[in-house]
Amino acid sequence: MDEELRERHRADLLQVLAYSTLSDANRIISCLVYPCRKQTWQSLRKRGMVYHHASLNAGKRNIILVLTAIPMEAKMEEVIETLAAAVT
């Protein structure tokens, strides 16, 4: 099961990176957002692990990949705050 999950995650990453090539901008931010349980999200927030960044260079372009999780039942303000922090 772990290998299958890794393969799915890898496919998601490749897809979001493929979408990032559609822009000619010098700086591109691509986000991959996964749903999670509220308890999981709260635990991630407490540990400062609710999102992760990776930076890739493709020629003159800088692609910033943001991986994050959002609980389906969170307050909208919390979700917006988290997403804003992730992409700045």
State the Cα–Cα distance between residues 23 and 19, nearest whole angstrom: 8
List pLDDT tens digits, range 67-76. Answer: 998 898 888 8
What are the angstrom distances between the C-alpha of 26 and each of 54, 55, 61, 64, 87? 16, 13, 4, 11, 16
- Nearest-5° Cα angle at 17, 81 to 9: 80
List pLDDT tens digits, range 12-46. Answer: 999 998 888 888 899 999 999 889 998 998 899 89
- The tokens for 16 are 């979001």
- The tokens for 81 are 């705050």
**pLDDT for the residue numbered 40:** 92
